[in-house]
Amino acid sequence: MTRTKECKRVAQPERIGSYFRLELWPLAVVTVSGILYNAGMVAGPYLEGRMAQCLMNIESGAQTLAEMVTLAGAYLLVILSVQGMRCLKRFYVRRFANDTGRNMRRMLYNALVNESREELEKENLGAMMTKAMSDVDACVEGMRKFTTEVFDTGVVLLAYLGMLFYYDWHLALLSCAFTPPAYLVAGRLKGLVTRYASAYKQSAGKMTGATMDRVSNALTYRVYGCEDSRDAAYEAALSDYERCAVAANLWEGTMQPLYNVISMCGAVFILYLGGKNVLGTGWADWNIAAFTTFLSCFARLALKSAKASKLFNSVQKAQVSWGRIQPLMKAYVEPSTALRADGSKPVELTVSDLSVGWRGSPRILHGLSFSAAPGQIIGVTGPVACGKSTLGKAFIGEAAYSGSIRVGAWELRDLSAYERSRLISYLGHEPELMSDSIAENIRLGEDMSPEAFLRAVCLGEETAQMPQGTETFVGSGGVRLSGGQQARLALARTLSHGRQIVILDDPFSAVDQKTEREIFSKLRIWSKDRIVLLLSHRLSLFGELDGVLFLDGGQGLFGTHEELLAKSEAYAALCRAQRAGEEENET
């Protein structure tokens, strides 16, 4: 079974118990080895007492050195067995933590890549990175410590208590009376630990965001002379992070000695009253073996109790981290098998009675209807702010719509974001280039040659003249390229990953008319088995398109360029105005 399939089996990723159920086999091994380990932990103090008694008996001649060697051998065998079980238990606990961390990250990654842009933009990028990295680690670490301490602390505490009550229940009650206060102190500090841990996580997110902003926008800040102010803002974020980190670690870590002192106070009663038991004047009749065993058990119990108090704090930190990532832990998005099989076949586009708008706002467009077949290029235009871009966003799920958009046999609203991406390619106003090479901005990690697509957008010769050719780095957001080069590189990327429906929002806005016509002629050849929606305010090529959707006043009129010139005075006036402007520019 692959790791991807294991991650898909998380039935309820928003519930922490689902990740425990996913690792039942490692947890079963942890349970068995933990029980055996803790049984050996109890045998250790018993044999230590026997050896102490044997040593005294050897001096009096009651026992021999051979018996001491036998006890020492048994003690060594017990210790080796205990450490072997401890090693096995911790190995499978670590395996549980590693698998759980991988599963959580896979679910979180899947949720983020399938989240809408609108939702992602609500949160600071630095906070998102902190959740994906630091919070998952903290949550998994809390789960690991809990799984470990169930046996290392919980079970063994019961075993040690059983031994203490067996030897002297009066002294056991008295000496262990200091353990509950240690738990009480830990409980009282729960709120402080939670509050400071939460503040630390938030500060970490802000610092990550400030770091990314300073690095990615370094050139812009340098050009406008804002470096000093941004450095000061980063230093302020760093100082706040350091302060919050110190506060969080202070309340979590520095209280451990206090827990130890409180838990070990009972040793005073054991030394005094246990000594009376050995002398025969106490509550029980002891020898040196019993005294040594009781004191050893109590010391180990007290230390384990202190660790249990610290565990409470670790679990609180994990709960803070889980509370931050839980809203992002959503059901795994399963790609459609049928769509993957048929997604490469030419499809028809049918839009019926379509109304489009932003979620929570009134519809901008109403009653749009048109259709297109493979090989057709459909133009969409209208006055400024007529809704061209909003219509394009409806195809990729960023704008809400009513009515119908059917791509082949599928209604878009019924498809997941992944499934829509198998059918639709989209190029918006922003190039959204990666800080990588020209070639990688086209390949996007796939094995393909970028040269043909660079030639298709008239960028091949310019790229060949650059120092590193297609391996030239474009800088953050493409800052090392001109606006026209950025637009054409983004168009080349869209063509290289073209689906059956290709939506281009003003792809020629940053190029001259000659370059526009050259690119369009190659686009016509490239799209012979695809449908292209060309959203544009430039109408010089619209006479060569297969259809035009004219948007005006929230309504749409569809037909050929010639039909719209005859039917719509507004469309004709827009064309005349653009033609006059072009002639004036030429003059």
CATH number at residue 164: 1.20.1560.10
pLDDT of residue 5: 41
264 and 123 in one domain?
yes
Domain presence at residue 129 = yes
Would the pTM count as exceeding 0.75?
no
pLDDT of residue 550: 95
The last residue of one of the domains, among 279, 294, 328, is 328
Give the chain's mean pLDDT.
Answer: 82
- In the predicted model, is pLDDT for residue 139 greater than 70? yes
In the predicted model, what is the mean pLDDT of residues 305-326?
72
* Whole-Å CA distances, 144 to 97, 139, 150, 314, 371: 6, 9, 10, 10, 57
230-239, 277-286, 318-327, 366-375: the lowest-pLDDT one: 318-327
Domain presence at residue 138 = yes
135-144, 217-226, 396-405, 511-520: the lowest-pLDDT one: 217-226
Report d(CA 537, CA 550) in Å as an integer.
11
Q: Which of 164, 185, 184 is nearest to 176 (CA)?
A: 164
- In the predicted model, is pLDDT for residue 271 greater than 80? yes
pLDDT of residue 359: 81
Q: Which residues of 217-242 are buried (b: 16+ CB within 10 A; e: fewer)?
A: beeebeeeeeeeebeeebeebeebbe
- Run of H or E residues at 529: none
361 and 286 in one domain?
no
* Whole-Å CA distances, 420 to 185, 416, 529: 55, 6, 18
Domain presence at residue 195 = no
Q: Which of 317, 306, 179 is nearest to 255 (CA)?
A: 306
Domain presence at residue 237 = no
* Whole-Å CA distances, 22 to 8, 103, 323: 11, 9, 20
Q: For residue 447, what is the domain's CATH number?
A: 3.40.50.300
- In the predicted model, is pLDDT for residue 335 greater than 60? no
pLDDT of residue 8: 46
pLDDT of residue 63: 84
In the predicted model, what is the mean pLDDT of residues 558-577?
92
358 and 315 in one domain?
no
- In the predicted model, is pLDDT for residue 170 greater than 50? yes
Domain presence at residue 360 = yes
- In the predicted model, is pLDDT for residue 313 greater than 80? no
548 and 484 in one domain?
yes
- In the predicted model, is pLDDT for residue 402 greater than 90? yes
Domain presence at residue 394 = yes
Domain presence at residue 218 = no
Question: Helix or strand or coil: residue 244?
Answer: helix
pLDDT of residue 572: 92
The last residue of one of the domains, among 294, 328, 362, is 328
Question: Helix or strand or coil: residue 574?
Answer: helix
As to burial, measured by CB atoms within 10 angstroms (0-12 exposed, 13-18 middle, 19+ buried), residue 385 is: exposed
- In the predicted model, is pLDDT for residue 258 greater than 70? no
* Whole-Å CA distances, 87 to 44, 83, 155, 503, 528: 17, 6, 17, 58, 64
Report d(CA 146, CA 403) in Å as an integer.
52
Report d(CA 240, CA 200) in Å as an integer.
9
The count of C-alpha atoms lying within 13 angstroms of the C-alpha of 496, restricted to the half-sphere facing its C-beta, is: 25
Give 151's pLDDT tier (boundaries 50, 70, 90): low
In the predicted model, what is the mean pLDDT of residues 498-527?
90
In the predicted model, what is the mean pLDDT of residues 71-78?
88
279 and 397 in one domain?
no
- In the predicted model, is pLDDT for residue 312 greater than 70? no
How far is C-alpha 38 from the geometric centre of its chain's CA atoms? 37
pLDDT of residue 219: 72
Report d(CA 6, CA 21) in Å as an integer.
12
450 and 324 in one domain?
no
In the predicted model, what is the mean pLDDT of residues 153-167?
80
Give 248's pLDDT tier (boundaries 50, 70, 90): confident
Q: Where are the alpha helices (DSSP H) in 114-226?
A: 117-120, 125-130, 136-149, 156-167, 169-175, 179-188, 190-216, 218-223
Give 374's pLDDT tier (boundaries 50, 70, 90): very high
| CA angle (560 as vertex; 579, 377 as ends), nearest 5 | 90
270 and 384 in one domain?
no
Give 401's pLDDT tier (boundaries 50, 70, 90): very high
In the predicted model, what is the mean pLDDT of residues 110-129?
67
213-217, 287-291, 446-450: the lowest-pLDDT one: 213-217
Q: Which of 465, 468, 513, 516 is nearest to 488 (CA)?
A: 516
2-6, 45-49, 85-89, 393-397: the lowest-pLDDT one: 2-6
Report d(CA 401, CA 404) in Å as an integer.
8
Decide which of 31 and 501 is more confident.
Answer: 501
382 and 322 in one domain?
no
In the predicted model, what is the mean pLDDT of residues 406-435?
86
- In the predicted model, is pLDDT for residue 178 greater than 80? no
For residue 378, what are its two tokens? 């459909």
351 and 296 in one domain?
no
Q: Which amino acid is at 240?
A: D
* Other beta carbons within 10 Å of 582: 14
The pLDDT > 90 percentage for the chain reads 22
Report d(CA 300, CA 381) in Å as an integer.
79
Give 189's pLDDT tier (boundaries 50, 70, 90): low
Q: Which one of 49-63, 219-233, 518-532, 567-581 scores highest in mean pLDDT?
A: 518-532
Q: How many domains are there within the chain?
A: 2
For residue 398, what are its two tokens? 């960023």
Give 558's pLDDT tier (boundaries 50, 70, 90): very high
- In the predicted model, is pLDDT for residue 338 greater than 60? no
- In the predicted model, is pLDDT for residue 184 greater than 60? yes
421 and 300 in one domain?
no
441 and 293 in one domain?
no
Give 121's pLDDT tier (boundaries 50, 70, 90): low
Phi, psi of 20 (to 5 degrees): -70, -45
| CA angle (318 as vertex; 313, 321 as ends), nearest 5 | 130
**Containing structural domain, residue 516:** 347-586
* Whole-Å CA distances, 386 to 95, 357, 508, 580: 57, 12, 19, 22
In the predicted model, what is the mean pLDDT of residues 254-275?
78
256-265, 328-337, 519-528: the lowest-pLDDT one: 328-337
Q: Which of 489, 486, 492, 544 is nearest to 517 (CA)?
A: 544
Report d(CA 21, CA 509) in Å as an integer.
55
495 with 522: CB under 8 angstroms? no
In the predicted model, what is the mean pLDDT of residues 480-495?
90
CA-derived radius of gyration, the chain: 36
| CA angle (26 as vertex; 22, 27 as ends), nearest 5 | 80
Give 409's pLDDT tier (boundaries 50, 70, 90): confident
The pLDDT > 70 percentage for the chain reads 86
pLDDT of residue 565: 92
373 and 491 in one domain?
yes
The last residue of one of the domains, among 280, 301, 328, is 328
380 with 535: CB under 8 angstroms? yes
Domain presence at residue 467 = yes
- In the predicted model, is pLDDT for residue 586 greater than 70? no
